[in-house]
Amino acid sequence: MNRKIKKSAPTLKWNRVLLFSFAIVLLVVISVLFLQSGHNIVAIDESVTPPAVSYNDYFETRQKWLLDHKRIRECFGKGETFYELLAGYGLSAQDIMQIDETVKPFFDLSRTKAGQIIDIWINAQSQKVEKISLHLSPEKILYVIRNGHEFFLSLFSPEKISIPTEITGTVAASFYESALDRGLSPDVIMAIADMFAWDIDFLVDIRPGDSFRVILHRYYRNGNCIGLGKVLAVRFVNQERIHESFYFIDSQGREGYYDRKGKSLEKAFLKSPLRYRRISSYFSSRRFHPILKIYRPHYGIDYAAPVGTPVESVGDGRITFIGWKKGYGRYIKVRHNHMYATGYGHLSRLARGLNKGSRVRQGDVIGYVGSSGLATGPHLDFSMMKKGKYVNPLSVQSPPASTLRGRDRERFDDRVIQMEEVWQKNQTS
The sign of the torsion formed by the CA atoms of 63, 69, 75, 76 equals: negative
Q: Is the pLDDT of residue 30 over 70?
A: no
Strands 284-288 and 295-298: antiparallel
Q: Which residues contact 222 (CB under 8 A, 6 or more apart)?
A: 158
Same structural domain, 172 and 143? no
Give the separation between CA 241 and CA 1, rounded to whole angstroms.
Answer: 125
Q: Last residue of a domain, which of 223, 258, 293?
A: 258
* Residue 28 vs residue 284, higher pLDDT: 28
pLDDT in tens, 329-354: 999 999 987 778 999 999 999 999 99
CA distance 227 to 217: 9
Does residue 39 fall inside a structural domain?
A: no
Shared domain check, 385 and 283:
yes
Helix (H) or strand (E) holding 17: helix 9-48
> What is the side-by-side strand order in the sheet with 129-137?
69-75, 117-123, 129-137, 140-147, 150-156
Neighbours of 414 (CB within 10 A): 9
Q: Which segments within 198-268 are labelled E, that is strand?
A: 211-221, 224-238, 241-249, 255-258
Q: What is the CATH number of the domain that holds 141?
A: 3.10.450.350
d(CA 314, CA 344): 10
150 assigned to some structural domain: yes
Model pLDDT, residue 24? 59
291 has pLDDT over 90: no
pLDDT at position 372 is 94
pTM of the shown model: 0.51
Alpha-carbon gap, residue 394 to 242, rounded angstroms: 18
% of the chain residues with pLDDT over 90: 28
Asked, for residue 19, whether it belongs to a domain, the answer is: no
- 65: pLDDT strictly greater than 90: no
HEC letters along 295-322 = EEEECEEEEECCCCCEEECCCCEEEEEE
Is the domain of 134 the same as that of 189? no
Q: How many domains does the chain have?
A: 3
Residue 367 to residue 376: CA distance in whole angstroms: 19
Q: What is the mean pLDDT of residues 69-80?
A: 85
When pLDDT is cut at 50, 70 and 90, the band that residue 376 belongs to is confident
pLDDT band with cut points at 50, 70 and 90 for residue 60: low
Give the helix/strand (H/E) hosting 367. strand 365-369
What number is the average pLDDT over the span 107-120? 86
pLDDT score recorded for residue 57: 59
Q: What length does the chain have?
A: 429
The answer to the question of residue 403 being in a domain is: no
Together in a domain, 283 and 364:
yes
The answer to whether the CB of 317 falls within 8 A of the CB of 336 is yes
pLDDT tens digits, residue range 129-187?
Answer: 888 888 887 778 888 888 887 888 888 777 778 888 899 999 998 898 899 999 998 88
379 and 283 in a single domain? The answer is yes
Indicate the range of 237-251, 272-286, 408-422 predicted with least confidence.
272-286
> For the domain that residue 327 is a member of, what is the CATH number?
2.70.70.10
**Whole domain around residue 307: which residue ranges?**
278-395
Domain-embedded: residue 50: no
Helix (H, G, I), strand (E, B) or coil at 66: helix
Domain boundary among 207, 225, 258: 258
Q: Is the pLDDT of residue 4 over 50?
A: no
Q: Percentage of the chain surpassing pLDDT 70?
A: 77
Whole-number pLDDT of residue 21: 59
Q: Is the pLDDT of residue 51 over 50?
A: no
- 115 in the same domain as 80: yes
Whether residues 302 and 243 share a domain: the answer is: no
411 class by beta-carbon count within 10 Å (0-12 exposed, 13-18 middle, 19+ buried): middle
pLDDT > 60? residue 75: yes
Share the mean pLDDT of the chain. Answer: 78
Local confidence band at 425 (pLDDT 50, 70, 90 cut-offs): confident
340 and 283 housed in the same domain: yes
Averaged pLDDT for residues 389-406: 81
Residue 402 within a domain: no
> For residue 13, is it within any domain?
no
Average pLDDT over residues 228-233: 91
Q: Which of 212, 227, 258 is the last residue of a domain?
A: 258
pLDDT per position as a tens digit, 144-160? 888 887 888 888 777 77
| Cα 241 versus chain centre, distance | 30
Q: State pLDDT tens for residues 92-103.
A: 888 888 888 888
At 380, the amino acid letter reads L
Report the alpha-carbon angle 248-251-256, nearest 5: 30
Q: Is residue 140 located within the same domain as residue 204?
A: no
The answer to whether residue 198 sits within a structural domain is: yes
Same domain membership, residue 233 and residue 293: no
Q: Are strands 140-147 and 224-238 parallel, antiparallel or unpaired?
A: unpaired
- 171 C-beta neighbours (distance < 10 Å), count: 21
Residues 6+ apart with CB under 8 A from 410: none
Query: Do 246 and 286 sit in the same domain of this protein?
Result: no
Q: If you compute the radius of gyration of the chain from its CA atoms, what whole number of angstroms results?
A: 38
* Other Cβ atoms within 10 Å of 180 Cβ, number: 15
Rounded Cα distance, 43 and 70, in Å: 43
pLDDT for the residue numbered 419: 92
Q: Is the pLDDT assigned to residue 124 strictly greater than 70?
A: yes
pLDDT at 198: 77
Residue 127 has pLDDT above 50, yes or no: yes
Domain shared by 283 and 373, yes or no: yes
